[in-house]
Amino acid sequence: MRVLLAVFLALLLRPVMAGAAEPVEFWYGHSGAAGAVIERLCSHFNASHPGLRPLRCVAQGSYEQTLQKTVAAYRAGNSPALVEIYDVATLDMLLGGASMAVQQVMTEQHQQNAPHDFLPAVQRYYADRDGQLAAQPFAVSTAVLYSHRATLAAAGISEPPATWEAFDAALQALKRHGLTCPAVTDFNPWIWLEQSSAAMGVPVASAANGTEGLHARYRFDSGPHPRLLADLARWVAQGSLVNQAATRSGRQELAFAAGDCALLLSSTGAWNLLASGQIDDVVISPIPVYQGFPRQATVIGGAALWVLRGQSPEAYATVAAFLAYLRQPAVQISFSRQTGYLPVTQQAAALILASQPSDSAVAVGLSSLRRADGQTSTPLRTGFLTRLRLIWTQELQNALARHSSTDVAVQQIVERGNDLLTTFEETYRYVPTL
């Protein structure tokens, strides 16, 4: 009798189980407020697309943790259909063979597919050698300078520094005025190496910043970077550029928001956190350049959405519909306003610019991504970029601790970085394209 009852229940429940569509997984690398916004995006998408398999959005920790978990899951054969991967892993994703180009997926699923609807800077960053959009830009930001207008004025400074020379003078004036933290930093190489080099039009690596092939090697031991690193070390030694760890909050954005520090170099995405402190004297401007270097465009940072191989056509239908949903101007605008990230489509950017002042974080960030002639800067596309950033930080700390000079630090960063590039080239030597 028990056996017959079990069989009867199994037959009774079969239609229900068969009718329950298996979710399509999307992994992302955000928590806190940004993570909550992404969860709401997913919920709204599912509610508005009942005919598709639902999207299950799963936070995986930090960007680096998300990448590591994705690699492990793909090798085990149970990876998500869609994953958010941060900018430094772009080349690894292009060469790894685990992903499908977003442009291809959108075409195959008959979704609106106009890659040039994206802002030129973001489209260029995530395009392969043939110009095909490999990943969909998502959480995008660039570097800007935040200044407290009232604090600068009290020290006799009329406007935010547009050059590193003016930045130097501002630090000294603020120090003389009695400010214990003229500027605060977390020593992020994304700011001090990658963005500062782009803003001055100086490549970090040969072969067009690595976009022309795996034979690229780092070349920032010449040009303005050694000078900037020497200036940075001098400012730290003078106490005019303060390590965020030495502030009351221990975090650069919070130290700036509290008014403890007058200047902050950070991403446009930091604005929402700063604005939550209800401060009304913040001026946002492009990051400085050295005199004699005409200002060029900065580049984007953040993350993009990659479509992974090995999924069913039904899963890709959901993925393509979600990517199309994210491109909608209303969704772009809402996501930007709630997170501080930049819009990624030209239509959404135009609508935001029409409704926000020209000195807002988004407006300044969007303006920074293009030169005066409308052109964009060449993105940095080298292998093991995360490890280069670690090397840069290690060697800088050695210099700040006076275990070496900044000149030695730069040489060590380049030499160690080029060893990584040699290994990367040997690993992917027979991969035909970027």
> Which CATH number characterizes residue 220's domain?
3.40.190.10
- Give how far Cα 44 sits from Cα of 50, 121, 314, Å: 11, 29, 19
Instruction: Note whether 34 and 132 are same-domain residues.
Output: yes
Query: Is residue 102, in this structure, part of any structural domain at all?
Result: yes
Domain membership of residue 362 as a residue range: 24-140+300-369
Instruction: Note whether 267 and 403 are same-domain residues.
Output: yes
Distance CA 87, CA 64 (A): 11
Instruction: Note whether 155 and 279 are same-domain residues.
Output: yes
Query: Is residue 6, in this structure, part of any structural domain at all?
Result: no
Distance CA 398, CA 400 (A): 6
Tens digit of each residue's pLDDT, the chain (434 residues): 343 334 333 433 433 333 458 999 999 999 988 999 999 999 999 999 999 999 999 999 999 999 999 999 999 999 999 999 999 999 999 999 999 999 999 999 999 777 679 999 999 999 988 888 999 999 999 999 999 999 999 999 999 999 999 999 999 999 999 999 999 999 999 999 999 999 999 999 999 999 999 999 999 999 999 999 999 999 999 999 999 999 999 999 999 999 999 999 999 999 988 887 778 899 999 999 999 999 999 999 999 999 999 999 999 999 999 999 999 999 999 999 999 999 999 999 999 999 988 889 999 999 999 988 889 999 999 999 999 999 999 999 999 999 999 999 999 999 999 999 999 999 998 665 55
Give the pair of three-digit tokens for residue 196. 């500062």
Give the pair of three-digit tokens for residue 131. 């110009």
Q: How many CB atoms lie within 10 A of CB 79?
A: 21
Instruction: Note whether 293 and 304 are same-domain residues.
Output: no
Q: How many CB atoms lie within 10 A of CB 405?
A: 15
Query: Is residue 120, in this structure, part of any structural domain at all?
Result: yes
Closest by CA position to 341, among listed 369, 319, 381, 318:
369
Instruction: Note whether 157 and 269 are same-domain residues.
Output: yes
Instruction: Please say which residue of 345, 369, 393 terminates a domain.
Output: 369
Instruction: Please say which residue of 342, 369, 396 terminates a domain.
Output: 369
Instruction: Note whether 191 and 165 are same-domain residues.
Output: yes
Instruction: Note whether 304 and 180 are same-domain residues.
Output: no
Instruction: Note whether 82 and 192 are same-domain residues.
Output: no
Distance CA 336, CA 353 (A): 12
Instruction: Note whether 259 and 322 are same-domain residues.
Output: no
Instruction: Note whether 188 and 252 are same-domain residues.
Output: yes
CB 359 within 8 A of CB 160: no
Query: Is residue 246, in this structure, part of any structural domain at all?
Result: yes
Helix, strand, or coil (residue 132): coil
Instruction: Note whether 342 and 422 are same-domain residues.
Output: no
Query: Is residue 3, in this structure, part of any structural domain at all?
Result: no
Task: Count the domains in the chain.
Answer: 2
Instruction: Note whether 288 and 178 are same-domain residues.
Output: yes
Distance CA 279, CA 387 (A): 36
